[in-house]
Chains A and B, each alone.
Chain A
Amino acid sequence: MTQQQPLPDPAGPPATEEQLLDLHLGRLEGRRAAEVEEAVAGSPGLALRSRALRELLDLLDRDRAPDPPDDLAERVLEHIEARGAPIRFPGAASALPAGRARDLCAGPLLSLRELITIAACITLFVGVFVPGYYKAQSVARRNVCRDNLRQIWSAMGLYAADHNGHMAYAGYVPGGSWLPSPVRIPNVPRASNTRHVFRLVRGGYIVQPQVFICPAETDARPMRAQNLRSFSDFAEPVNNSYSYSFMNLPRPPRLADMQVGPQNGMVIVADRSPLISVAGPRPIRPFDEQGINSYAHDNGAGQNAVFASGRGGWFAHPTIGVDRDDIYRAGRLLRYQGTETPTAPTDTFLIP
């Protein structure tokens, strides 16, 4: 076996096998490449290894990748368009293969008395256990959600303590649209509201992406942990379940400024606004004008919310802002386009 010899280099460290590889991959600069080539030419052992490596790489060249389809771009664009369209559910098909279904229909397997007994047992079981099970599950989800909001509030407080009392803030975009990322208003710049709270992630104040996911939202999913530091906002609207104080302001607000009023101050984070889904604004129905709860828990039973003071919990109505202000509405506005702002400094306006 030929002994490995380092390549001589008076100007730097001895050359390695990796540098021989770099030479063949064209990754060495002119002077360094010339030095390694000279060293190879002066050593029969190195020359043999160099030739063997070249032959090996020539083998790789024979592996031709298939050509992409001619209409690849069209297929990609169609795919995106199709995914952006409403999902249509085809009519429910039988869960059984056709042959098996026919077998079961061919004749009764159970007598009428047995069927009635089984149905009564099922009804009793469902009536006694299922409501309790769903109730317990619902309470557990609310508790996990409330803990998430408290973690976010706690991170906001730590951030403010490190930044002269200022809340996490990612800049001001005059007239910007805060709508979720797939929704665009032509010629209106984007001003995502969640990019501010994402500063807590970039700064290491929140390291678990799961904190932003309400367990009651079945469509939500956390961002990949390895992507957290390389993004400046949530990758997709479904990576965040919560709504935050409107933050597209000319100057970063102080957390202390949010503690206005005689009690707990303004709400700074709560369950997702019922007025803004991940697909854009939701119209308010006439009978919702008096206040509409987040849809996150039990189809609008209420919402978890946390005030600037750190107090918070479950509220059955959204009018918990300063002076009984609806936390999800800018003033008493009914329709939203994505560029609305709070109507007063004490007007709580939570948006995703």
Chain B
Amino acid sequence: MNALSDEQLLAEHLNGQPEAFELLVRRHGPELFRFLARFTGSGTLAEDVVQEAFLQVHLSAGSFDRGRRFKPWLFTIAANKARDAMRSRGRRPEVPLDAHMGSEEDAGRRFLDLLAEEAADPSGRLEEAEERACVRSVVQAMPDNLREVLVLSYFHRFPYRDIAEILGVPVGTVKSRLHAAVAHFGQAYRAAIRKKA
């Protein structure tokens, strides 16, 4: 059964083979957990959402469109559940993509130019542990719609087409959001280390 594709396993699950569903959970559970842990910023919440997402898959398996692939479908469900869970726990609302992301002096400047200036400035360096904590807090503080693209694209290496399917947006939007996400991360990280300095 290990050789079966995800879609074949789901079909076996619908035919009453319980081990097929377990195999799907073992195959995708860990990666889904890591995605959700980065997206929600909480391992506990990530585990809850993993459970809810697979429960939804279990309940909705009969309505799965066989023309689609399983993994983007699973991540679509998980991302929706994660947004609901964060909303119910009172996370701050998203900011629009065209919202100003940096300080006044950064307005109108290209993000790679800002990064290039930062790279030439060694004074803003942090210790490694401090740096890791700073990166995490900056990623967690990003708007949801940017963070989810960054996590799916950079950390999980999903193809643009799959990310577009998961988020229900055009591929062009995925690319521009990823660009904006990296820019946002660069500016927010720089602001954070300036504050520490």
Q: Which A positions have Cβ atoms within 8 angstroms of B?
A: 1-2, 4, 17-18, 20-21, 25-27, 45, 48-49, 51-53, 55-57, 59-60, 62-69, 72-73, 75-77, 79-80, 83, 181-182, 184-187, 189-190, 192, 195, 198, 224, 226, 230-236
Contact = CB atoms under 8 A, between A and B. Distances in A.
Given A76-B50, A190-B62, 7 more contacts: A18-B176, A53-B112, A65-B35, A67-B34, A68-B29, A76-B25, A182-B58
Contact of B115 (A53, A72, A80, A198): A53
Interface string B31-59: 00111011000010011001100111011
What is the interface of chain B mostly: helix, strand, loop, or mixed?
Answer: helix
Given A65-B34, A83-B55, A72 B63 contact: no
Given A51-B119, A232-B63, A80 B135 contact: no
A25 B34 CA distance: 19
Contacts of B139: 60, 63
Contacts, number: 161
Interface of B: 14-16, 21-22, 25-26, 29-30, 33-35, 37-38, 43, 46-47, 50-51, 54-56, 58-65, 68, 76, 80, 109-113, 115-120, 128, 131-132, 135-136, 139, 150, 153-155, 157, 160, 168, 175-176, 178-179, 182, 185-186, 189
B22 to A, nearest CB: 6
B47 A63 contact: no
A63 B37 CA distance: 11
Contact of A2 (B33, B65, B113): B113
6 contacts: A1-B113, A48-B119, A63-B38, A68-B33, A182-B59, A230-B68
Top 10 A-B pairs ranked by shortest CB distance? A233-B63, A68-B33, A52-B115, A181-B62, A52-B119, A49-B112, A65-B34, A79-B51, A186-B16, A235-B60
